[in-house]
Amino acid sequence: MKPLKKILFISLFFALPFSSMAWGLLGHRVVAEIAETYLSINARENVKKILGDSSMALNANWADFIKSEPSYKYLDSWHYVDFKAGMSCEDVKKYLATDTATDAYVKLNFLIKELKNKSLDKEKKKMYLRLLIHIVGDIHQPMHAAHEEDLGGNKVFVQWFGQKTNLHSVWDSKLIDDQQLSYTEYAKAINYVSTIQKQAWQKESIAQWICDTHELSENIYAGIKEPEQKLSYRYIYDNIAVANQQLLKGGVHLAGLLNEIFGN
C-alpha cells in the first residue's frame, strides 16, 4: 500500500462507529455521575468502601466490558426486559408481578436483596453493585423495555445520517453522543431537578420505572413509519429531551435505591 493510501485506510478504520448493546459508555456514566450527587452519607461511604478507589461512573460499564468473557455469558439477559407488542402499563405491571424470567426486573430485585445482606462476600458485593449501577441505567433506555419480537429495536433498521443502523443503537448511543459532551459535562448540563420532583421519583416502584420506560418505547416505535427511515438532525431535535430526562431519572432513581439499600 502507498503511504497515503495506508494513512487513509487506518484513519477510516478508526472512524468506524463504535457499536454497543446498552446505553453506551456515555449514558451509563451520566446516570452514575448524577446518582452520586444525591447519595446519603451512609450510601456514599458504603459505595466508596465497595468500589474502592474509583467513581460510580467508572464502574458503570463493567457489565458491558465483561460481555466478551464466556464465563459471564449468563449475565447477558440481565440488561433488559422485553414485552409483547401493544402491552399497556397495567399489562406490564401485571406481567412483572409474576415475572420469574432471568431479566432486568427479576435480577434487580435479586441484587437489591443481596446488597442489603451485610455479610455478603466482598468480591460479590463489588460485582453486584457494579451490576446494579449498570442495570438501573439500562432500564431507563427506552429500547431496553421494548418489544421482544424485534429484540428491543435491534431488528428495526433505520438510517442515521445516511448510515444503516437500528433503533436500539440510536437510543443507546447515537442520539446522546451527538451532543459532544463528556460524561461529566453531560451530567452537569442536565442535572436539574426540584426537591419535590426528586422525592416523587424516588417513591416510585421499579415496576413503575419499567412501565414508564416501556411507554416511551411505544412512542419511539410509532415514530418509525417506513423501513430504513432516514433519521438525522430533526430526530435529535424531537427526541433529545426524552433521552436527557431518562438519564436524569435514572440517576435520581439509582441514588434513591442506594440510599434505601445502605441507609440514609
Q: Which residues bind Zn ion (CB under 5 A)?
A: 22, 79, 138
Closer by beta carbon to Zn ion, 33 or else 138? 138
Q: How far is the CB of 206 from Zn ion (least distance, A)?
A: 16
Q: Of 103 and 138, which has the nearer Cβ to Zn ion?
A: 138
Q: Which residues pair with 163 in a beta bridge?
A: 160
User: Considering the complex, what minimum distance in angstroms separates the CB of residue 19 from Zn ion?
Assistant: 13
Q: Which is nearer to Zn ion, 22 or 92 (CB)?
A: 22
CB of 137 to Zn ion, least distance (A): 7
Q: What is the DSSP string of the chain?
A: --HHHHHHHHHHHHHSPPP-SSS-HHHHHHHHHHHHTT--HHHHHHHHHHH-SS-HHHHTTHHHHGGGSGGGGGGGGGG---B-TT--HHHHHHHHHT--SSSHHHHHHHHHHHHH-TT--HHHHHHHHHHHHHHHHHTTSGGGSSBTTTTTTTT-EEEETTEEEEHHHIIIIIHHHTT---HHHHHHHH----HHHHHHHHHS-HHHHHHHHHHHHHHHHHT--STTEEESHHHHHHHHHHHHHHHHHHHHHHHHHHHHHH--
Give the nearest distance from C-beta 142 to Zn ion in angstroms: 14
Residue at shortest CB range from Zn ion:
22
Least separation in angstroms between CB 134 and Zn ion = 6
- Find the shortest distance in angstroms from Cβ 22 to Zn ion: 3
